[in-house]
Amino acid sequence: MMDAVAIPPFERFYEQHRVEVLRLLRRRLGVDRADDAFQETFLRALRAYRRLEHGEHLRAWVLTIAQNVALDMLRRAKPTVELVEVGADDSRPAYEVLADLTDGLPPKERAAVVLRYGYDLSYEQIAAALDSSPDAARQATSTGVRRLRRSASHDRIS
Going by C-alpha positions, the residue among 76, 57, 64 that lies closest to residue 24 is: 64
pLDDT digits (tens, 9 = 90+) for 121-141: 889 988 888 889 999 999 999
| pLDDT score of 143 more than 60 | yes
pTM for this predicted structure: 0.49
Predicted pLDDT of residue 17: 95
Residues whose CB is less than 8 angstroms from the CB of residue 20 and which lie 6 or more positions away in sequence, other chains included: 59, 63
How wide is the angle at C-alpha 70 spanned by C-alphas 68 and 76, nearest 5°? 105
pLDDT digits (tens, 9 = 90+) for 12-35: 999 999 999 999 999 989 888 999
Taking each helix axis from N to C end, the angle separating 10-29 and 58-76, rounded to the nearest 10 degrees, works out to 40
Question: Which residues form the domain of 122?
Answer: 94-145
Q: Is residue 4 part of a domain?
A: no
Predicted pLDDT of residue 1: 44
Q: Is residue 89 part of a domain?
A: no
Residues whose CB is less than 8 angstroms from the CB of residue 40 and which lie 6 or more positions away in sequence, other chains included: 69
66 and 103, same domain (yes or no): no
